[in-house]
Amino acid sequence: MRDLFVLTIVCLAGGPALADAGQTPVSRERLVMQQPKMVRDFVARRLQCNHWGGEEPYDAARRREISRAVKALRCNSLDRDEARLLRRYRDNAELPALLVAVREAWEL
C-alpha cells in the first residue's frame, strides 16, 4: 500500500491547487498528506481503479489481469466507500473537492 500512496502523491502533485477553508491555494499533495490514513488509502485505491478501468482488455490474459485488479481493489464499492468517508469526515471542508478531483481523474 505504501507504493500506491507514493504514486498517488506523485500524481496529485501535478494537479491544480485546491482552496482550503481559508481560501488559500494548497497543493493536492499537501492536501492528501493532511488527510486521515483512511482517506489517503481511498485516494490511492480510487486512482488505481481509475487506471484499471481505462485499460484495454486486448486478449484473454489481459482481461483476467484487469478483472483480478478490479476485484482486489474493490472498485465496484468505490461510490459507497466514498459516501462513507464523506459522512465520517463531514467536518473536513477540503474532502469533498479532493474526492471529486480524484474521481474525475484516471491519470493526474
If phi > 0 it is left, if psi is from -120 to 50 it is alpha, else beta; for residue 92 that is: beta
Q: What is the pLDDT of residues 84-103, one digit of tens each?
A: 999 999 999 888 989 998 88
Q: What is the pLDDT of residues 30-72, one digit of tens each?
A: 888 888 999 999 999 999 998 998 888 899 999 999 999 999 9
- Tell me if 9 sits within 8 A of 35, measured CB to CB: no
